[in-house]
Structure 1
Amino acid sequence: MEALSSARLQLYDGVLLSVAGLDAARLERARTAKPIVLLGERDSPERFDHVRLANEEGARVATAHMIEGGSRRIVVLGGTIDAGHTMSSDRRLGWERAVTDAGLGIDPRYVLPLPYYGSAPARDVLLRFIDSGLPFDGVFATTDILALGAMSALAERGLRVPEDVQVAGFDNLEMSQFVPPGLTSVDANHEKLAETAIGMLHKRIAGWSGPAEHVIIPVRLVVRGSTRARA
């Protein structure tokens, strides 16, 4: 942020800035006359244009799809990183909305917090959950990386996907279609996010001085073999 604010270094027309590693307090210190458009899932100052994904709605749709396929005890894998990073917490809230809307009730024992990265930690956490003996028939993972770890744990314990446990992820990574039986996942529509952010920045560079825009990019569910059709 210091580089953006330095008069000597402002040799740019505008900036697309990922906020993955920045908190709102650091962003507030940015002082530049050049336009900035923020990308990502952290809370940010209202004065900046900001483009982010419909994380909560995507997670709600994925969880509701598994409920329609017959799941009644769905684990949410992931959901916390830190207080300022809203991606995983929003996705956990989407799971919560779907479960509540279906009248199933929220059981905190089915919330398994994890960072958004790391298939191996996801595998280990789900193995411990399986070994606890709590019944479950679905896993919503807040990223595909976590979902792949979950599928490994299920296979290790002899549980079939989707016959015994449905699994859905988020991000629709390319690898997800190749992992048997194919991972149902929320497509995060990163291309649309990038197009929107670039368009906003071009508009600012061209001189538009309207109020800051905060845009949420819609997502869609890609259904594959890890989930079932409506029960």
Structure 2
Amino acid sequence: MFSLQNKTAVITGGGSGIGKAMAMLFGKQGAKVHIIELDIDTATATVGEIQQNGGAAFHHYCDVSKQHQVVDTFNGIGQIDILVNNAGIAHIGKADTTSEADFDRVMNVNVKGAYNCLFAVIPLMKAKGGGVILNTASIAATVGITDRFAYSASKGAIYTMTLSVARDYLHDNIRCNSISPARVHTPFVDGFIAKNYPGQEQEIFDKLSKSQPIGRMGTPDEIATLALYLCSDEAAFVTGCDYVIDGGFTKLNN
């Protein structure tokens, strides 16, 4: 079950964190993995790990906010069976403390970046008779999170873009779903805490961990396992859905 043999998967932001976990698992399950990254060092390292484990993987330096780069990169890959729109950046701020420059930066990567990848991949999928798209949203798309104005707005866009794409390409055999994680423990989280809460790292880490009713953050591997299911043929009846994976955050917090 959940084999990706003979499938080509493109994962944006696949060099580290959740994206890396997806790339590693997809490679293990037989996919030919193409990692789209700005950080070429992490991309190279992840490709090397996949190859050492017997998988096929490649990396491409590409800024997802630049449409011409995305189109050229995707056309160079050719046949694409699976796209995971995972690249994204975070931001702390309320509506009146978020600068225009920061708002634009978040939207350019998180929203325009996903749009650019959709713009590039859908013609390729239509030409080959179908495909699977998975977008990384967030619980911030549907739950009020303190000091996450721009980030929440961007993930709300991802959520609704998912529904639109799923509806528009039903008859082209293109499935589109999203996943909405709560906090996941990645190197990004550690760096984020260190940057914004110097001297309070352990206190903030514990606080963020306990905000999930289950009592901890998720792991990248747990998110990747859900992604694998949604991108596999076993999920052929699933489209237009958002899958919350949050340790009980959205339903069990009182």
**TM-score, L = length of structure 2:** 0.34
Higher-helix-fraction structure: 2
Relative contact order (alpha carbons < 8 A, sep ≥ 6): 1 or 2 greater?
1
TM-score, normalisation: structure 1: 0.37
Q: If you compute each CA radius of gyration, which structure gives the higher value, 1 or 2?
A: 1
